[in-house]
Amino acid sequence: MAGKPLMELRWDPILREWVLISNIRRLRPWQPSGFCPFCPGNPETGYGWRALILENRYPMLMESPPDPSTHWFYSTAKSVGRCYVVVEMPEHGIDDISDLPVDQIEYVLKMIIDKVREESGRDYAHYFLWFRNKGREIGVSLTHPHSQIYVLPFIPSRVEREIGSAKEYFDSKGRCLFCDVLNAEVRDGIRVIYSNEHWVSFMPFYSHWPFEIHIYPRRHVQLVTDLSNDEVHSLAQILKVSLCGLTHVFSSKSMPYILVMHRGSSRVDLQACK
Amino acid sequence: MAGKPLMELRWDPILREWVLISNIRRLRPWQPSGFCPFCPGNPETGYGWRALILENRYPMLMESPPDPSTHWFYSTAKSVGRCYVVVEMPEHGIDDISDLPVDQIEYVLKMIIDKVREESGRDYAHYFLWFRNKGREIGVSLTHPHSQIYVLPFIPSRVEREIGSAKEYFDSKGRCLFCDVLNAEVRDGIRVIYSNEHWVSFMPFYSHWPFEIHIYPRRHVQLVTDLSNDEVHSLAQILKVSLCGLTHVFSSKSMPYILVMHRGSSRVDLQACK
């Protein structure tokens, strides 16, 4: 592609949120049919691993991004941050992370948590977004099972809304909104999909979509880095059961999905959740 | 389908917005191949029309909805409102509204505006959402060109955010946010797709998506019912040009899209926009 590389944050003054702009992702190559950059034995991957975290070669955010353009009316900022790819298994042909044994899912979760812990001290790190897109319908271009971590220089606007709701709820009721929602779902029971010692998986009363699944910790905890080893093991187990259920809803096709881990911010004093 | 009909609004306490819940839409029949309920000569449509507004037979909102369920923790409300289908032309096989002559698009817009005016006095009418989904990828089940009007008993949360931004902008700068965005886009010029006497079509500096098109009136106006006849005619013209451009971006396939008309609320005192 000709033209100047462009990579910056642009402020939407109407929805009041940052938009990630990059033309670097247009450089992503069309891979030869049958070639997978995430399989073992490639230059980036090598051999002898159970799971890998790689830097995204075509990232939306970089540790040392170019200076943003300047505009006389609109606001811009540097696309500072990190984009990682989590290659969840060496095997290429497995449909979903939920097809792996619980101990492999736990291994992947621990790698992600270690990466979050490692990045937590960085100046640019305001939010850690672990997300998993499954299926071509969602826009997945590489089918080798993988997920992504974005280390963001801002809190996503949706998470800000969640934090704002939790604060307002705490101010008016003196209780944690998320704990109360969990309590309501457990007491009703009818929308609970699965639960174990540390987690509950449910389709909330106020679901926006069919098959919308929320997984909550039983313990009041804000950060994935605060989970105990037992809680991480239980999370792997409930993820496996919940995603197996979701991907098998239709017998004709494995269900595409978007999975996103929500967390508090390490920078905001969440009185509401203490 | 067995079971009780269910139709209510449920409050999402975490995103603080209403969710429309209904199992009535599951009753929508699979139509015999080749049958279209929007073509002329059917029981609902008859003959001798250029465009039609019909009540949606499987609505999310009704003038006299059933009482909502009650819940000990969550909030619910009646699904009071209206859902209309706008059949935009008698011809079944035309790809898009932009393939029609400008005077037919103008005719459709005037029907929509008349319907909004007619509904404006209703107690339940807090917002009028005209939207147009095009393409099976968006979830369109009937291909006969049509759009929809939802008369909503609340302001959608996204529109509330827009109104909130406009208020805050006016409080701090004493100017209208939307007028300033329009001015910036016109002055830059490079992202303007098309403009006529009354409207400007552009891809904003802060676009969230490729091919995201915004169409703004040049005059500071909040409600579609406040548009002059000339402005409605010009809107039909710029809609045609902008949507023709969008649907023909790829030669291999007509582009699917979602079109939504945003407006102020007739119930909220928009100081910011006066």
B142 and B12 housed in the same domain: yes
Report how far Cα B204 is from the mean position of its chain's Cα atoms.
20
Residue B273's pLDDT band (cuts 50, 70, 90): very low
**Are B206 and A19 a contacting pair at CB < 8 A?**
yes
Nearest-by-Cβ selection for A73 from B19, B73, B184: B184
Residue A3's pLDDT band (cuts 50, 70, 90): low
**Are A14 and B71 a contacting pair at CB < 8 A?**
no
* A159 vs A264: CA distance, rounded Å: 8
For the cut 80, the answer to whether the pLDDT of residue A107 exceeds it is: yes
Parent domain of B207: 158-251
Are A242 and A257 a contacting pair, CB within 8 Å?
A: no
B71 is catalytic: no
Tell me what ipTM this predicted complex has: 0.93
In a domain, A147, yes or no: no
A5: amino acid identity, one letter: P
Q: DSSP class of residue A236?
A: H
- Confidence (pLDDT) at A269: 47
Cβ contacts (< 8 Å) between A73 and chain B: which residues?
180, 183-184, 187
Lowest mean pLDDT among A23-32, A60-69, A162-171, B63-72: A23-32
- Confidence (pLDDT) at B165: 96
- Confidence (pLDDT) at A271: 44
**Are B16 and A71 a contacting pair at CB < 8 A?**
no
Domain containing residue B234: CATH number:
3.30.428.10
- Confidence (pLDDT) at B35: 87
DSSP code string of A147-209 = EEEEEESS--HHHHHHHHHHHHHHHHHSS-HHHHHHHHHHHH-TTEEEE-SSEEEE--TT-SS
Report how far Cα A35 is from the mean position of its chain's Cα atoms.
26
| pLDDT tens column, A236-265 | 999 999 999 999 999 989 999 999 999 887
Cβ contacts (< 8 Å) between A16 and chain B: which residues?
161, 165
Query: Best residue in B8, B12, B14 to probe A by mutation, most A CBs within 10 Å?
Result: B14
* B126 vs B67: CA distance, rounded Å: 19
- B-chain residue closest to A161, CA distance: B15
Which of B156, B185, B217 is at the close of a domain?
Answer: B156
In a domain, A244, yes or no: yes
B92 and B152 housed in the same domain: yes
First to last CA, chain B: 50
- Confidence (pLDDT) at A207: 97
B189 and B245 housed in the same domain: yes
B151 and B166 housed in the same domain: no
Q: What is the mean pLDDT of chain B?
A: 92
B63 and B121 housed in the same domain: yes
In a domain, A187, yes or no: yes
For residue B202 the two structure tokens come to: 């552009």
Say what percent of chain A tops pLDDT 70: 95
| pLDDT tens column, B50-61 | 999 999 988 999
Cβ contacts (< 8 Å) between A206 and chain B: which residues?
10-13, 19, 74
Residue A266's pLDDT band (cuts 50, 70, 90): low
Cβ pairs A/B, distance under 8 A: 72
B149 and B202 housed in the same domain: no
B42 and B69 housed in the same domain: yes
**Are A161 and B74 a contacting pair at CB < 8 A?**
no
B87 and B126 housed in the same domain: yes
B129 and B220 housed in the same domain: no
Nearest-by-Cβ selection for B74 from A15, A73, A206: A206
- Confidence (pLDDT) at B142: 86
Counted domains in chain B = 2
For the cut 90, the answer to whether the pLDDT of residue A90 exceeds it is: yes
Residue B152 parent element (H or E): strand B146-152
In a domain, B28, yes or no: no
* B149 vs B129: CA distance, rounded Å: 5
Residue B119's pLDDT band (cuts 50, 70, 90): very high
